[in-house]
Structure formats: C-alpha cells, structure tokens
C-alpha cells in the first residue's frame, strides 16, 4: 500500500469513528430547560413522595438503592435520561431492560410505586425520567452518601431497544474504551473516575468478572493485576464450571454503604471488574483514585458534580401516565 492509500485509509477510519460518535451523540442534549424548582408550583410534594418510596423499599430490601442507582446510569447512557430503561418489551420488540447488560437490573417496582403515588396527587405532571433521577439521588442518601438538588424537567422517551444496550460501557472495558464511551456523552475522565464510585454499592454476578479469574489469556489463567488472595476468593465463589445461577460477590465489603472504600480497593488490586482496575491505567484517573481513596469528602463532592452533569443529558418527548408503557 503506497503512502497516499494509507493516508486515505486512516482518514476513512477516522471519519467512520467520528460519524459513529456523532450518531450516538445526536440522541442527546444537555440540560434542556431543567431546573431545581421545576415542580415548585405544579407538584411541590413530588420529591418527598419519591423519597418515601425509596426509604420504604430499602427497609424491605437493602439491595434496592444499588439497583436504582445502576438503573439511572443505564437509562442516561442510552438516549439520555429519558426513562427508556423503564419501558416493558412489547411483542417482538425487546426493550432496553431486556438487553443483555440490563437483565440483572432490579427495583423497577420502586419507580412504579413512586409514580402511582405522584399521579394520585399531581396527575400527568411529573415524568418517569425525573422520578428515576430523584430515586437515584435518594438511593445514595439512604445509603449514607451525599445529597444534592436534582435538576428536573426531563421528558419521557417513546423508544426503547434492547439492541442499543450494546452502547453501555462493559465491565471488561479498558481505559481507552471507557474514555470513548464517556466522551461520546459529553463526560470527562473526571466524571468517569467519580461516577465509577457508584460501584461502592451493590452486587456482581460471576459472569461480569469471569474473564479475570478463568482463562485470562493464552499464558495465564488469572489476571496478574488481581491481588492473588482476592483472586482465589473469587474463584471459590465462581468456579470454572457448575456456577450457581445467582452466584456472585458484593461490589465491596461495605456494599450497602455509600463510601470511598471502592477507591481504596482499587489501590490494593482488589476490585472486581477489569473496568475498575483500568482507572489505574491513565495518569489522570489514577491520581483521582488516590485522591478519592484518601478523602471521602473529595469523592462525595466530585460524585455530586458528575451525577448532576450525567443526569442532565436529556432526551424524551412526553410525560408518561405509567412508567412501563408509552402514552
């Protein structure tokens, strides 16, 4: 291949990558008319109703907060924060919640309960997307994390496709894949480092980290970046064969408390996902990991800032009457 052909090939590849990111970005806009007091006149009790639904659910199920926070992330990363993750599949049209990365999402009933209660007081006013954004904030607060004013005024989307969940950042991603996924949504490396701290809550099934503890590559069975005793404990829970259907491990030892333990574990090579460990592979994210590991306050402030930024990626066209179906 001569230099001119090579140049054209590179230009073509660059253009394809640019168009692909443009295609994803075209679904999103930032903060279209969102405001903290959006429902002040039309439904002033909305936030307290959502908060009660989250608190009531958490009393019965301590995994509900982690489920709600993850649900909000997964909603915002596909078509913006438009509640599309809440829609049920219809016939042969599989919705986002039935896409492979989302089959383990749970706590949808919390949003259903909150929506029902809000509708009984302020019918047709508060979007499901806003209820989910509020519930994610309340999930952090009820777990001992920081609070913040959630900008409101999102609309609910009418399209939800399981096939689009391939766009979600995967637990196997390396740092360049993570950076690309976040930048396509207008999010920075700072946002990546801070939002990854959501992994302080919750549980992971074996399938999300089996790649690190079995047949890692052609020369070694276990990812050499894993702490050996930690890897051994993961292999006991997730053997190569005969995995129990729901086998897995807590994301960190304090998995129902919102704290900065996750970052300390990264520095000890005791995190579950390749994508968590990947935060050590860029000078920027590595320094933020160290900063957040040494200061819960620094992490909390960065997390709040990035959550507001992420939850302000908007899409959507309507206010659904029920969160599982379009109007």
DSSP secondary structure letters along 38-103:
TTTTT-TTHHHHHHHHHHHHHHH-TTHHHHHHHHHHHHHTTTSSSSGGGPPPBTTB--GGGSGGGT
Active-site option among 7, 72, 74, 199: 74
Residue 21: per-residue pLDDT? 47
Average pLDDT over residues 104-109: 96
Q: Nearest 5°: CA angle at 275, between 162 and 241?
A: 75
Consecutive H or E run containing 30: strand 29-30
Q: Pairing between strand 203-205 and 313-314? A: unpaired
- What's the whole-model pTM score? 0.89
Consecutive H or E run containing 111: helix 108-121
Give Cβ neighbours of residue 306 (< 8 Å, ≥ 6 apart).
187, 190, 191, 194, 195
74 is catalytic: yes
Residue 152 has pLDDT above 50, yes or no: yes
Token readout for 230 is 């930690």
Average pLDDT over residues 127-144: 98
Residue 25 has pLDDT above 80, yes or no: no
Average pLDDT over residues 251-259: 90
Confidence of residue 223 (pLDDT cuts 50, 70, 90): very high
Residue 242: per-residue pLDDT? 66
Residue 144: per-residue pLDDT? 97
Residue 12 has pLDDT above 80, yes or no: no
Residue 110: per-residue pLDDT? 98
Cβ atoms of 212 and 274 within 8 Å: the answer is yes
Average pLDDT over residues 114-129: 98
Q: Quick one: what percent of the chain has pLDDT higher than 90? A: 83
Token readout for 37 is 């007091």
Residue 26: per-residue pLDDT? 45
Residue 235: per-residue pLDDT? 93
Residue 269 has pLDDT above 60, yes or no: yes
Residue that has been written with the tokens 């596909």 in this structure? 78
Average pLDDT over residues 193-222: 93
**Backbone torsions φ then ψ of 159, nearest 5 degrees:** -120, 135
What's the chain's average pLDDT?
91
The DSSP code for 281 is G
Average pLDDT over residues 300-320: 96
Residue 29: per-residue pLDDT? 55
């Amino acid at each position: 291949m001569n230099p001119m052909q090579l140049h054209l090939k590179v230009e073509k590849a660059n253009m394809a990558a640019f168009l692909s990111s443009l295609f994803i970005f075209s679904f999103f806009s930032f903060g279209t008319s969102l405001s903290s007091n959006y429902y002040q006149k039309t439904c002033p009790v909305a936030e307290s109703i959502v908060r009660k639904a989250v608190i009531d659910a958490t009393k019965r199920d301590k995994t509900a907060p982690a489920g709600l926070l993850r649900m909000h992330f997964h909603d915002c990363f596909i078509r913006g924060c438009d509640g599309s993750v809440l829609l049920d599949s219809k016939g042969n049209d599989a919705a986002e919640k039935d896409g492979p990365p989302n089959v383990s999402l749970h706590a949808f009933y919390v949003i259903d309960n909150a929506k029902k209660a809000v509708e009984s007081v302020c019918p047709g006013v508060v979007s499901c997307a806003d209820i989910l954004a509020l519930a994610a904030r309340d999930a952090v607060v009820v777990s001992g994390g920081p609070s913040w004013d959630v900008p409101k005024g999102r609309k609910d989307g009418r399209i939800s496709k399981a096939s689009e969940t391939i766009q979600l950042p995967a637990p196997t991603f390396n740092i360049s894949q993570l950076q690309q996924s976040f930048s396509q949504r207008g999010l920075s490396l700072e946002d990546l480092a801070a939002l990854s701290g959501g992994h302080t809550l919750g549980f992971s099934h074996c399938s999300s980290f089996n790649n690190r503890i079995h047949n890692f590559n052609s020369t070694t069975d276990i990812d050499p970046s894993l702490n050996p005793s930690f890897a051994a404990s993961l292999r006991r829970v997730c053997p190569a064969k005969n995995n129990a259907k729901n086998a897995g491990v807590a994301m960190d030892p304090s998995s129902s408390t919102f704290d900065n333990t996750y970052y300390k574990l990264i520095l000890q090579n005791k995190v579950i996902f390749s994508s968590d460990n990947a935060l050590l592979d860029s000078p920027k994210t590595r320094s933020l990991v160290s900063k957040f590991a040494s200061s819960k306050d620094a992490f909390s402030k960065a997390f709040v800032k990035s959550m507001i930024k992420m939850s302000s990626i908007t899409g959507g066209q309507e206010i659904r009457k029920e969160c599982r179906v379009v109007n």
